[in-house]
Structure 1
Amino acid sequence: MEFNSIKTGFFSMEIGLKDSIPTFAGGLGVLAGDALKSCADLQLPVGGLTLLYRKGYFRQRIEQGRQTEEEQSWDPSEELKKLDNRVVVRIKGEDVHIGCWMYELEGVTGQKRPVLFLDPDTEQNSDYFRRVCDRLYQGDQKDRIAQEMILGIGGVKMLQSLGYSIEKYHMNEGHTSFLALELLRKLAETSDDYSKRLDSVRSMCVFTTHTPVPAGHDRFDKGLVTEMAGEYLPPEPEARIFDGNELNMTHLGLRFSGYINGVARKHSRVSKKMFPEHDIESITNGVHLRTWISEPFRKLFDRYIMEWQEDPFSLRAALNIPEQDIWDAHMCAKKMLLDDVNERTGIGMDMDAFTIGFARRFVMYKRPDLIFHDLERLRKIAREKGAVQIIFSGKAHPGDSAGKGLIDQITDIQQQVNQADDNINVAFLDNYNMKIAKRMISGCDIWLNNPRRPHEASGTSGMKAALNGVPHFSTLDGWWLEGHIEDITGWCIGLHPKDPKFDEDVSPDDEAEDFYDKLESNILPVFYDDKDRWQKIMRNCIAINGSFFNTHRMMQQYVMEAYFK
């Protein structure tokens, strides 16, 4: 691989490439991995940078209905190539030596792109710094600052050490924003004009914000940042590094970036209200086709759409695929899922029963429990309109007691329902990962997503389901505002944007009522009694949403609008 083949460094706190490299926690990391896979497919000059977490995120177990966490240790030498290059980052007045591992992503044409994993576990470092990157998203503020300095500052230095001539630095969320301070410091060696240095840094930096939830933006105490990273803080007062007595990592990235975007149109508008000082564009997220299309649909597309791997837009030709062939592929994927569920849980799910999927991070605003808001109503619908099966999977952050409480609640309801009902079955698959996700998004009959608006920046699981012909059922937030066509690509829960009350707070009671009404009157009757219409909806999902909501289109937008602007 030639060093000059990489012109953009894509920095992300987590990158999800595959389950055997457990350096990701969820959607942010999987999206980063999908983006880099598309860069390899499209032969774009982009390489990825992240940290090497030797104990991963965590392995989840459900014991007596409760989440417990175990270490997720792995051996990087089995997956990655260790490089000889070392760089030094000064943290709290101490030289911290950073090593590097590389994974080569091979695209559909055979072209390869590097993903670099920065590793402070070197013999020159103290035990604290050797272990500081062991785990993702855990530890105190001191640990997080050290991790983010290693990624941002160490990442810039490592790219230079490896000989890459980087023209753009893409900050995938605020965790990576220290890279801007290293660029600014480096420019100070040749210029004492701060405004010119600032303009130069901005011309090199792209920032993507991924969450409208305030808790998702890192904030660090000013005194602690000064103690840890003081040597990288610019002395000029106009640098505006701090907001009062804290460092907001999102604000830092925004101030030093020449191009800023949200990850869906609605999210961009929400972000502009959160950060009114900045112009924020919109590039809607996508998913990587070859990663998320199930084997039955891969065979189907190979038969009818020869160029689907190179050109995702060609999936619009799915409108020409016979509906029965789409149904047959779906039933193969459904059998794979239910065989797995039944083997793991012993519940005995039925191939003919309508199966709902819900899998993602368990956090309050995503509301996995909304489907059980009125359990008696759900039971009545299942008795009168047809059996309903619900499969859940997902992790709560170890420190999120409310998220863990949601898992407790779901597993309690699972026990209660499965013992009492013949028409409702509930399963919870523990240790959610990419393998489980792929099984679920392709094998369920419908994909459920009901975040509290406007907290969903984008969401991507419904895009993955659409690739496999699975309709979406969701509140109108994130990407679904762009992909939703009622009764054509799926169904919405709650108010439509044309409703004058759309931007007002909506009662969960009203949204749950709409969920049950749609399930009873619009969805189950079509699934059970009008298979021709259901199969047309499945075909629409592939042709309309699968052809657009993919990372090939997404990365082409980044190239045109951000990288080479």
Structure 2
Amino acid sequence: MLREFIRNERIAYFSMEIALQNEIPTYSGGLGILAGDTLRSAADLEMPMVAVTLVSRLGYFRQSLDDQGRQSESPDAWSPEKYAVPLPAKIAVPIEDRSVWVSAWLYVLESYLGGRQPVLLLDTDLDENTEEDRRITDRLYGGDVAYRLKQEIVLGVGGARLLHALDFNVRQYHLNEGHSALLTLELLRRRAYPADDLRPGDTPYDIPAVREICNFTTHTPLAAGQDKFPYELVYHLLDDFVDRETVHHLAGQDELNMTRLAMNMSDYVNGVAKRHAEVSRRMFPGYRVRAITNGVHPHTWACIPFRKLYDAHLPGWCHEPEQLLRADCCIPKDQIWQTHVAAKAGLLALVAERCGITLDPALPILGFARRMTAYKRPDLLFHDIDRLRAIAENRPFQIVLAGKAHPRDEDGKALIRQLYQYMQQLAGIIPIVFLPNYDMEIALKLVSGSDIWLNTPLKPFEASGTSGMKAAFNGVPNLSVLDGWWVEGCIEGVTGWSIGDNCDDGENCDIANNNDADALYRKLENIVLPLYHEDRDGWISVMQGAISKNASMFNSHHMMRRYATDAYIR
């Protein structure tokens, strides 16, 4: 099976998490979903890639919530042998003066069009390793800072070595976020100059040669979101893996910053939206950070009723999503509405099954599903309970929420508990549901069955935000703050609606963020809900705009064609 993948040059795509399918919990959220959509589009377009990630046998975690919204976590174990085949190669990586052995499972991601992409799932659960080392690839983002660094050694150094051992012909490396940045040090080791050729002060490595074959996509505008490790720990685990002076020069003098290392070692660096690239250039002055806005995979994120609708009116849309530009003139409005009604019924059925609550199909549903953490502001909608109640009494609506808080994010867990308190305070006025254990299956039901997709992060901290793009593929308008992709996607009253003022940095954003709750209430009360309740034809026009103006543009086929022309072919 492997032979078919090693004949041609490939782009090696490294990502700590990849959402391969719902039953394989090797992802935690947006980064992994984006990685999976990247590979699905690459398979559709038959772009030669090979992905490298961790097997994460125990997954991220399975979320349980009690009646007060208290989150508890349990392993979300899966069996790689059910979905993948073991590969006949093992390599070793140095950790704490010992060799930790790494093997891999081969998962073949298959396109509905017939394309195939190999994915290597790195695994340290081998007889050659100590019990402690066998657990390195068990838990996605689990453990302490040492455990995390060990995982990133396995991903970056081990992944590069395993590709070499398996004879993959790698044209370039693509680092999806900074977790795999140590692979650049492994590449430097391969390009070390002979000591006899060096003059005093010369660098021991051919840094330009490594930069030429590396691309880096940064995903966070938050400094706290970048992986940083104290050098004491780095040298305890890796010793003198690469000349220390070189490491400090490339990764930072005070600590090893994986984002800075990746930026210094990549010729092509990009953010995941135009606004995000601007913010990244301010965070890292002197670096050229380009912009390739994220997208979502058409076939995966259009629900079955909408797939059938598009197939009937715009055949070939899955391979050429730009055909959706014609949705506003080629698909009858009544068919769009009836298709949405079918999608909404799917969400209502899921809510009834998982939560035992019956929602009203005639009332609009506000959908919100994000990682539960402070800067995502899941509580913004509930900023003024009395005002929200008054709006609902005049024009009723329902709310469906979902999302996980990281096990160590106590503030995020507190937000979920607070949301449950709001649910109780508004009982009898606004039906509110929180769907536990958010995953790909729930996501598809939510983005297709909601009537309005809500997104309220603190500006300018949204890198891209792809959930709203998924909603657009199902004709669901966005109601969002102007950050991330929505700065590019929002055509007011045509594709959806903005919340508050536009800003990009500093004091102006602080002022805008403080006014967002009032802006949200005004938009809901005066524009969005009246349109839904009183002008069905006008509402469907906005649904058409979401499809024709947003889904046609913000998809992973368009994104991958940009990566091919801007990054890979140079």
Same topology, TM > 0.5:
yes
Equivalent in the alignment of 1:526: 531
Query: Does structure 2 conserve the Cα–Cα contact (< 8 Å) formed by 1:82 and 1:102?
Result: yes
Instruction: Give the fraction of aligned pairs with identical amino acids, expressed as a percent.
Output: 46
1:25-44 aligned within 5 A:
25-44=28-47
Moved more, 309-318 or 486-495: 309-318
Equivalent in the alignment of 1:254: 263
CA apart distance, 1:507: 5.6
Equivalent in the alignment of 2:352: 342
Residue number among 87, 90, 96 corresponding to 1:86 in the alignment: 90
Equivalent in the alignment of 2:454: 448
SS of 2:554's equivalent in the other structure is coil
Query: Does structure 1 conserve the Cα–Cα contact (< 8 Å) formed by 2:155 and 2:180?
Result: yes
What amino acid is aligned across from residue 425 of structure 1 in structure 2? P
User: 1:24/1:286 Cα in 2 relative to 1: closer, same or farther (>3 Å)?
Assistant: same
Residue number among 425, 428, 433 corresponding to 2:431 in the alignment: 425
CA apart distance, 1:138: 1.4
1:166-245 aligned within 5 A:
166-188=170-192, 194=203, 197-237=206-246, 240-245=249-254
- Quick check: 1:66 aligned with 2:70? yes
- Quick check: 1:150 aligned with 2:160? no
What amino acid is aligned across from residue 118 of structure 1 in structure 2? L
Equivalent in the alignment of 1:282: 291
SS of 1:10's equivalent in the other structure is strand
2: distance between equivalents of 1:29 and 1:369? 25
1: distance between equivalents of 2:552 and 2:412? 34
User: 1:324/1:178 Cα in 2 relative to 1: closer, same or farther (>3 Å)?
Assistant: same
1: distance between equivalents of 2:31 and 2:139? 16
Equivalent in the alignment of 1:105: 109
- Quick check: 1:461 aligned with 2:471? no
User: 1:238/1:293 Cα in 2 relative to 1: closer, same or farther (>3 Å)?
Assistant: closer
SS of 1:300's equivalent in the other structure is helix
CA apart distance, 1:185: 0.2
CA apart distance, 1:73: 1.1
Query: Does structure 1 conserve the Cα–Cα contact (< 8 Å) formed by 2:459 and 2:513?
Result: no
Residue number among 371, 378, 398 corresponding to 1:361 in the alignment: 371
User: 1:515/1:238 Cα in 2 relative to 1: closer, same or farther (>3 Å)?
Assistant: closer
SS of 2:87's equivalent in the other structure is strand
CA apart distance, 1:502: 8.8
Query: Does structure 2 conserve the Cα–Cα contact (< 8 Å) formed by 1:181 and 1:234?
Result: no
1: distance between equivalents of 2:307 and 2:246? 57
Render the CA deviation track for 1:5-28: whole Å, top value 9, x for unaligned.
342100001111112111110000
What amino acid is aligned across from residue 45 of structure 2 in structure 1? L
What amino acid is aligned across from residue 522 of structure 2 in structure 1? D
CA apart distance, 1:85: 1.1
Equivalent in the alignment of 2:425: 416
CA apart distance, 1:241: 4.0
1: distance between equivalents of 2:528 and 2:273? 27
Equivalent in the alignment of 1:390: 399
Q: Which structure 2 residue ranges, 5 or more long, are not aligned? A: none
Query: Does structure 2 conserve the Cα–Cα contact (< 8 Å) formed by 1:488 and 1:540?
Result: yes
2: distance between equivalents of 1:335 and 1:561? 42
What is the TM-score with the length of structure 2 in the denominator?
A: 0.96
Q: Which structure 1 residue ranges, 5 or more long, are not aligned? A: none
What amino acid is aligned across from residue 222 of structure 1 in structure 2? Y
2: distance between equivalents of 1:232 and 1:196? 13
What amino acid is aligned across from residue 563 of structure 1 in structure 2? Y
Equivalent in the alignment of 2:557: 552
1: distance between equivalents of 2:512 and 2:520? 13
Moved more, 429-438 or 371-380: 371-380
CA apart distance, 1:81: 1.3
Render the CA deviation track for 1:168-205: whole Å, top value 9, x for unaligned.
11111111100000000011177866487100000010
Moved more, 325-334 or 89-98: 89-98
Equivalent in the alignment of 2:496: 490
Equivalent in the alignment of 1:55: 58
CA apart distance, 1:238: 8.0
- Quick check: 1:538 aligned with 2:547? no
What amino acid is aligned across from residue 362 of structure 2 in structure 1? D
Moved more, 446-455 or 233-242: 233-242
CA apart distance, 1:503: 3.6
User: 1:133/1:164 Cα in 2 relative to 1: closer, same or farther (>3 Å)?
Assistant: same
What amino acid is aligned across from residue 20 of structure 2 in structure 1? L
2: distance between equivalents of 1:238 and 1:231? 10
1: distance between equivalents of 2:246 and 2:467? 44
1: distance between equivalents of 2:339 and 2:194? 61
- Quick check: 1:124 aligned with 2:134? no
2: distance between equivalents of 1:244 and 1:518? 48
CA apart distance, 1:382: 1.2
RMSD of Structure 2 on Structure 1 (CA): 1.7
Moved more, 438-447 or 215-224: 215-224
User: 1:190/1:110 Cα in 2 relative to 1: closer, same or farther (>3 Å)?
Assistant: farther
CA apart distance, 1:564: 1.1
Query: Does structure 1 conserve the Cα–Cα contact (< 8 Å) formed by 2:460 and 2:503?
Result: no
1: distance between equivalents of 2:251 and 2:525? 53
What is the TM-score with the length of structure 1 in the denominator?
A: 0.96
Query: Does structure 2 conserve the Cα–Cα contact (< 8 Å) formed by 1:495 and 1:502?
Result: no
Query: Does structure 1 conserve the Cα–Cα contact (< 8 Å) formed by 2:89 and 2:162?
Result: yes
- Quick check: 1:474 aligned with 2:483? no
2: distance between equivalents of 1:109 and 1:367? 39
SS of 1:84's equivalent in the other structure is coil
CA apart distance, 1:242: 4.5
2: distance between equivalents of 1:371 and 1:43? 43
2: distance between equivalents of 1:326 and 1:144? 47
Equivalent in the alignment of 2:327: 318
User: 1:139/1:238 Cα in 2 relative to 1: closer, same or farther (>3 Å)?
Assistant: closer
CA apart distance, 1:533: 0.7
1: distance between equivalents of 2:286 and 2:451? 44
1: distance between equivalents of 2:247 and 2:382? 53
Query: Does structure 1 conserve the Cα–Cα contact (< 8 Å) formed by 2:57 and 2:79?
Result: yes
User: 1:122/1:238 Cα in 2 relative to 1: closer, same or farther (>3 Å)?
Assistant: closer
Render the CA deviation track for 1:428-461: whole Å, top value 9, x for unaligned.
0000000000000000000000101000000000
